[in-house]
Amino acid sequence: MAYISVLALFLTVTNLVPLSAVGFLPIIFCAWRFFGRSYPSFIAPLTAFTLFALVSTLLYNAHSLTEFEFYRRDGNFFIAYAPIFAGCLYAHRWDMNKLLRAFFVFAVVINIPLYALYLAQNGLLSIFKHPDDSFGSFFIARNAAGGFLAMLFCLGVACYLQRRSRIMLALIALNGLMLFSTYSRGSLLGALAVLPYLYFGRKRVILATLISCLVVASLAMAMYHTRSTVDYMGYTFSIQNQDAKTANLDIRYEWLWPRALAYFRQSPIVGMGFGSFDDQIRNVVSYFGVLGVPSDIIVEHSDSHAHNSYLNFLAETGVVGLALMLGFYWKLVKWSQDGAARSALVEGGRNFAAFRFVEISSVCLLVMAATEHRLVSPSNVLILSLVISLLLASRSVRVTNPEYARVRVPDARPPYRYRGQAYPTATGRSVPDA
């Protein structure tokens, strides 16, 4: 089963749904192994959110769970996070540092021919004149390519922190150029946010401040652009600007963010229903202003979302859903920090790169989530969830390896108590055989 996760990891260079779902297979074959085990603390909020999303979908539109398009678009959360649960069902004793280093080199090298062709046709700075002529790697959507390359950048930094080399530094720089050429500004912002986070010591107060600012800023932007004369439940927005990047911002400011806020205001506790944001909801029955029950619904599985994970979660799952998801990342970062410290101090660096990657990529993902619905996008999340899966399945090596573990020294025998008076009254403590 471990080989399936490794295969899925190497397939994250593109996000075709049939390939992305490969990491889900261990759950099908080994589900019985869930019982009788202990799990890290971050599994609890993730499990709670998964069950909450499942119940919300059953109440809102149960038929969606049988449709392929639901998992491809509205319900891609299940595909993106399933590998984490799969990591609880198998075991391996591989060197994660070498595995992730090999994957990083593979992912960068496989993009070199495409990037060279792109530079030959468009040049490095053409994106400022023609934003549509950006680098897409093996992805259709530029934001998907940018998100993956931003996460790959975090992986390169983690591998470099584990073992520094000029080759790794050169590959990180090349990866950064590829990320720049996608012209995905949210992805660039997320990758750049990792650097001050590392510089200022990766403190918990920094993470708490970052998350709070992102959520508050998202709500503030939605409130600022909300117009009281517009019915966002039934209003259809048409883009007027011919500049693709400017039009992309216009649709967020003028429709998507205010629409998400309108959903949240009608059902702030549990949201309107998982996967409901892009649907046509013609009627909402409100109970005491805290619970909204939609009716007369036309379900659509499309790429339309709030372009902001925090607003999208508030719209579809309310405060409960957002709190569970943020709780998951809060505990995940703590787990990865503790794992990296234990790896460096006790285990001789074993799995250090993997733990450090989980930490800094989570921060990157949280920042990117303020510009797109990144927290459920397989192109962004799968690389993280598969590394977590492999970490959960990792077991210590049986044979002592000096590179990763200290050589065990046999414990000293307990003091042998000789018969007789141990502490003579006059001469002090007795010394056997003296």
Average pLDDT over residues 230-235: 76
pLDDT of 190 higher than 70: yes
Strand ranges, E, within 301-384: none
Separation of alpha carbons 428 and 237, rounded Å: 93
pLDDT of 132 higher than 90: no
State the average pLDDT for the chain.
87
Print the domain residue range for 51: 2-203+332-393
- Indicate yes or no: pTM above 0.85: yes
Residue 327 included in any domain? no
Residue 269 included in any domain? no
Residue 369 included in any domain? yes
- 429: pLDDT confidence band, cut at 50, 70 and 90? very low
pLDDT of 17 higher than 80: no
Residue 152 included in any domain? yes
pLDDT for residue 184: 92
Reported as a single tens digit per residue, the pLDDT across 72-119 is: 889 999 999 999 999 888 889 999 999 999 999 999 999 999 999 999
Domains held by the chain: number? 1
Average pLDDT over residues 119-131: 88
pLDDT for residue 415: 45
Average pLDDT over residues 25-31: 77
The string of DSSP codes covering 165-218 is: -HHHHHHHHHHHHHHHHTT-HHHHHHHHHHHHHHHTT--HHHHHHHHHHHHHHH
Average pLDDT over residues 185-201: 95
- How many CB atoms are located within 10 Å of the residue 395 CB? 9
Residue 120 included in any domain? yes
- The counts of H helices and E strands in the chain are 16, 2
pLDDT of 219 higher than 70: yes
Average pLDDT over residues 292-313: 88
Average pLDDT over residues 33-42: 84
- 32: pLDDT confidence band, cut at 50, 70 and 90? confident
pLDDT for residue 36: 72
Residue 71 included in any domain? yes
Residue 129 included in any domain? yes
Q: By C-alpha distance, which of 242, 128, 237 is closest to 185?
A: 128
pLDDT of 242 higher than 90: no
Residue 279 included in any domain? no
